Amino acid sequence: MHLLSLAIFVPIVAGCATLVVGSDRDAAQARWIALIGAVAGFLVTLPLYAHFDTTTAAMQFVESYEWIPRFDIHYELGVDGLSMPFILLNSFVTVLVVWAGWVVIEKRVAQYMAAFLIMSGLINGTFASLDGVLFYMFFEAMLIPMYLIIGIWGGPNRVYAAIKFFLYTLLGSLLMLVALIYLYNASQSFAILDWHKLPLAMSTQILLFVAFFMAFAVKVPMWPVHTWLPDAHVEAPTGGSVVLAAITLKLGAYGFVRFILPIVPDASHYLAPFVITLSLVAVVYIGLVALVQADMKKLIAYSSISHMGFVTLGFFLFSTLGTEGALVQMISHGFVSAAMFLCVGVLYDRMHSRLIADYGGVVNTMPVFAAFAMLFAMANSGLPATSGFVGEFMVILAAVKANFWLGFLAATTLILGAAYTLWMYKRVMFGAVANANVAALKDLSKREFWLLAVLAVAVLAMGLYPKPFIDVMHVSVENLLAHVAQSKL
Amino acid sequence: MNFHADVATALPEIILLAAACFILVVDLFIDESRRHVSYWLTQLTLVVTACAVLGGVREEPVTAFHGMIIDDNMADLLKLVAIVAVALMLVYGRQYFVARGLFKAETFVLTLFALLGMMVMIGSASFLTLYLGLELQSLSLYAMVAMWRDRPQPAEAAMKYFVLGALASGMLLYGMSMIYGATGSLMLDRVAEASLTVGPQARLLLVFGLVFVVSGIGFKLGVAPYHMWVPDVYEGAPTPITLLIGTAPKLAAFAFALRILPGSLKGVELDWQSMLVVLSVLSMVLGNVIAIAQTNIKRMLAYSTIANMGYMLMGFLTAERGGYSAAMFYAISYVLTSVASFGVVLLLSRRGFECDTLDDFKGLNQRSPWWAFIMLVVMFSLAGLPPTIGFIAKFSVIEAAVNQGFIWLAVVSVVTSLVGAFYYLRVVKLMYFDAPVGEGPIEARGDARVLLSVNGLLLLLLGVFPQPLVGLCAIALTQSHF
């Protein structure tokens, strides 16, 4: 049972098959192969959840083979409660993305589908790796398909956005490479779990913290290294934005719990005020920035940064509630941001404009769509009974426990989030029909309906009954916090 | 040590020399339309030489001809890769040669002589043979750059190459004479012994000679600040010759450096180590930064070579076996990648059309997705991104540097490779994001297509399963006592 290997290589092989078989003339063939590959990729991850043992914090579904003996590098995979949910989330989102690009993408369909499938496999690999170099290889290789997706199928300013995205992310991860090699030299092992036990001096811990922080803060992204994200989101095709927001941002946050907190716990405690400050700046300041955006995709991009600020805030409160809240927020944001970008995609496909000013009164012509969009907008602003509420509420509670003013500042997101999301919703959806283009809009097609319906169910289910998600991660979080509480000096 | 054993040790070189002379004569009796006979004879020679090298792999290093040449596993491995690179050059360049009237015996024979020079360098155990090999290689290459007489650029490039090359050779020779003066021998092993025990006076002389030797090595590797010839020669030479200059001689220069520096000047290790640190940092910074400003693909690849040799030196300067094997792996992987990069450039060149500006790559993905993909792999390999061999190579040298405490150097190298990533990405951008300018068909012979595809996929394959080659480098260096 090589479930994790399957989760990685089923999409990659399907992607290669799409490239080989699908040609530009026969796009339908490429689409079907890609869809079958994506669904198969999702199905092989389901047993991960079904057979997951929620009573242990140890790695599960472990596979380990010697890979490059010269450097003692292993092909070592395994998941715990911190990583398993994201493999499922990623495989699920991949299906949606392939489906969402079904008729929208017309040029070079095979390459488009293949890029997403290959990237999906690489992302699963990143979450499942227990070896530093293996992790790094997946983490970096993922940039290549994303670079191509933004650059080939993106908007008018796509080249700038693609290169900016690539170089920004590369800068962080190259420093991480040096840190990984340093840890190998200190421990004679590339196994991440060995590094968790490695004693390190404070000065070393701080340097390592900086190197890892560069890599993951760019990916999350945290203020002030977030500027690549709005550009990348605006220019990327809908599918690209969905994967970026729903999955790759989570990789950065995942890096915090897999690398930074357990490997350099003392530096993490020492620098926690710094990270918390950055997180709060993201929550408040970026929230305000989102308020004034004229472009819908940009607005959602800034709202993503603001929401991810909650995640990093939750991690650095060092409490069960905060960490679990952050993880729940990550999953919820995966659903909600995917849905928000798909909604913008629905409008963009019809009007070829993302500017809020070009819309108005859409509810009159697209009532079904408006209903879905309402639900997702509410979830994005953290309304109770939607998934967005659960994580935010847990983090705010944890923040208030730590310090009232911290909680107070964090809680402003509930106001700001509601303000920018609902104000955008009002301007786009309500009012009189703004122009002839809006009057000519057609409501959701069957494909779009089901796409959004699936996400709506996910958002509501998670909001009403988050227990399954929390159960999966609870033991791992407790273990992580117990580990982080111990000094390594 | 009897004569038969000596001949057996030098068998690959002897075969190569005999065959080169044979081809030179045979070609006189072949008319223009049957020139391919010489071509295939050349390829056959390469295959036989490679077999001879493989057949001569030994358990322990063997010296021959009174200790002038040595045959160890490191030499065998480097010779094999050099032969493969030369053979690929001929395959990829065949069409280019034919279209430009360079498809003649002189090209083949000079190629073989250049290869012979490299093999002598790789397998020499004395300063004398090292120098002989170096000169044989360099003179053949000068002539090859100049061979395309109808154009002014090749002549100019050849002139630059010759003048600067001769200067470097002179410096090298001068340095060698100092070392001889200090240690009293030209044999590398005896110099090594003497260098550990020399008195302060002789040591000064030794270091003085070392400066010149390192300069000569720097020139042959093409690292800053001895890099001035690289971009001009790369640009001016006919593309297959550029491919030749940019690949196999780097392996020879690597062996040259390895034989001289750790092989014979162990006693002044700290001195050459600090010199190489300067060369390495300068090359990484200068190569990567200036490459950004290039619009000519050959010049861009030239600066990329400079930068890559800087990374290679970073492994080398750690002065321990792990670092040497990392550097060797780097050199080999660089050669494999570089051959493929020029292979694609050659593929896009046609009769009367030189593919030499970056813009010629525009929209390649629409003209031919497969070759765009191969070039994509090549570019990411040069940039050192996983899952290509270039990543493993960079990883190895950074590991070696960190292992020896050169953390600041590792940081410099990753920052410069970020700069480098920009111009490699730009090529990918041109191929994938831009619309094609010319709709010229891509015409290439079947064998070139197949080999180039294999070459490109090998970069991926060795990136995912690097252990065979990494292990081979480590074993070879252990057996060769470095």
pLDDT at B132 over 90: yes
pLDDT at A123: 93
Decide if pLDDT at A25 tops 80. no
Smallest CA–CA distance, residue A134 to chain B, in Å, is 10
What Cα–Cα distance (Å) separates residue B196 from each residue in A325, B199, B202, B266, B343? 65, 9, 11, 7, 46
CB contact under 8 Å between A159 and B429, yes or no, is yes
Q: Whose CA is closest to B110, among B124, B97, B100?
A: B97
B:378-437 residues touching chain A, CB 8 A cutoff = 380, 385-387, 391-392, 395-396, 398-399, 402-403, 407, 410-411, 414-415, 417-418, 421-422, 425-426, 428-429, 432-433
Cα B386 to chain centroid, rounded: 23
Q: Are A261 and A484 in contact (CB under 8 A)?
A: yes
Distance from CA of B226 to the nearest CA of A (A): 28
Cis peptide preceding B436, ω within 30 of 0: no
pLDDT at position B284 is 92
Domain ranges of chain B: 3-478
Angle between helices B297-316 and B389-403 (to 10 degrees): 40
Q: Confirm or reject contact between B40 and chain A (CB < 8 A).
A: no
| Weakest mean pLDDT among A18-22, A46-50, B84-88 | A18-22
Instruction: Give the pLDDT confidence score for residue A349 in this predicted structure.
Output: 86
Q: Taking all residues of chain B, what is their mean pLDDT, rounded to a whole number?
A: 89
- Do the Cβ atoms of B179 and B203 come closer than 8 Å? no
Mean pLDDT of the region B42-47: 94
Most confident residue range from A22-31, A467-476, B346-355: A467-476
Nearest to B442 by CA among B345, B369, B340, B350: B350
What average pLDDT score do residues A377-403 get?
87
Query: Distance, in angstroms, between A284 CA and closest chain B CA?
Result: 32
Q: Confidence class of residue A468 from pLDDT cuts 50, 70 and 90?
A: confident
> Percent of chain B having pLDDT more than 90?
50
Whole-number Cα distances in Å, A123 to A129, A138, A342, B11, B85: 10, 7, 21, 52, 36
- Among the listed residues B194, B390, B404, B247, the one whose alpha carbon sits nearest the alpha carbon of residue B318: B404
**Contacts with A67 from chain B: Cβ below 8 Å:** 467
User: Residue A24 has what pLDDT?
Assistant: 65
How would DSSP label each residue in B310-356?
HHHHHHHTT-SHHHHHHHHHHHHHHHHHHHHHHHHHHHH-BTTB---
The verdict on a CB contact (< 8 Å) between B429 and A70 is no
Does residue A371 register a pLDDT over 60? yes
Length of chain A: 489
Q: In this predicted model, what pLDDT tens digit does every residue of B208-254 receive, in sequence order?
A: 999 999 999 999 888 988 988 999 999 989 999 999 999 999 999 99
HSE value, Cβ hemisphere, 13 Å, CA-based, for A151: 28
pLDDT digits (tens, 9 = 90+) for A103-153: 887 888 888 888 999 999 999 999 999 999 999 999 999 999 999 999 888
Tell me: the pLDDT tens digits for B388-398? 999 999 999 99
Q: Does B228 touch chain A (CB under 8 A)?
A: no
Give yes or no for residue A365 having a pLDDT over 90.
Answer: no
pLDDT greater than 70 at residue B439: no
**Residue of chain B minimizing CA distance to A72:** B467
| Pairwise CB contact (< 8 Å): A144 & B380 | yes
Residues in chain B within 8 Å Cβ distance of A151: 429, 432-433
Whether residue A68 is predicted with pLDDT greater than 90 in this model: the reply is: no
Average pLDDT rounded to a whole number, residues B460-471: 90
| Contact with chain B for residue A71, Cβ under 8 A | yes
Euclidean distance between CA atoms B427 and A59, whole angstroms? 42
Predicted confidence band at B1 (pLDDT cuts at 50, 70, 90)?
A: low
Predicted confidence at residue B43, as pLDDT, reads 93
Q: How far is CA B374 from the centre of its chain?
A: 21
Extract the tokens encoding A265.
Answer: 């716990």
Give mean pLDDT, residues B41-67: 90
pLDDT of residue A124: 92
Residues of B in contact with A21 (CB under 8 A): none
B222 at A interface, C-beta within 8 A: no
Rounded CA separation B317/A343 (Å): 56
Mean pLDDT, chain A, as a whole number? 88
User: What amino acid is encoded at B431 in this protein?
Assistant: M
**Are the beta carbons of A140 and B385 separated by less than 8 Å?**
yes
List Cα–Cα distances, A53 to A95, A130, A320, in angstroms: 26, 18, 19
The answer on pLDDT for B363 being more than 90 is no
The whole-number pLDDT of residue A310 equals 87
Question: pLDDT for B367-384, tens place per residue?
Answer: 888 888 999 999 999 998
CA angle B323, B327, B333 (to 5 degrees): 145
At residue A11, the 3 state secondary structure works out as helix
Q: Report residue B94 CA to chain centroid gap.
A: 20
Which residues have a Cβ under 8 Å from the Cβ of B389 and sit 6 or more positions away?
Answer: B333, B336, B337, B381, B458, B459, B460, B462, B463, B466, B469
Rounded CA-CA distance B204/A483 in Å is: 57
- A274 part of contact set with chain B, CB < 8 Å: no
Q: Does the CB of B239 have a partner CB in chain A at under 8 Å? A: no
pTM here is 0.92
The residue whose two tokens read 């470097």 is B168
Three-state DSSP state, A117: helix
Helix (H) or strand (E) segment spanning residue A483: helix A467-485
A221 φ, ψ to 5°? -90, 150
Please tell me the predicted confidence (pLDDT) of residue B119.
Answer: 94
Residue B130 pLDDT grade (very low, low, confident, very high; cuts 50, 70, 90): very high
Instruction: Tell me the H-state helices in B227-294.
Output: 229-236, 239-246, 248-264, 269-291
Provide CB contacts within 8 A for B466, sequence distance 6+.
A68, B329, B389, B392
Confidence of residue A351 (pLDDT cuts 50, 70, 90): confident
> What is the number of CB-based contacts under 8 A between chain A and chain B?
88
**Residue B392 to residues A124, A249, A473, B250, B411, Cα–Cα distance (Å):** 21, 26, 35, 19, 17
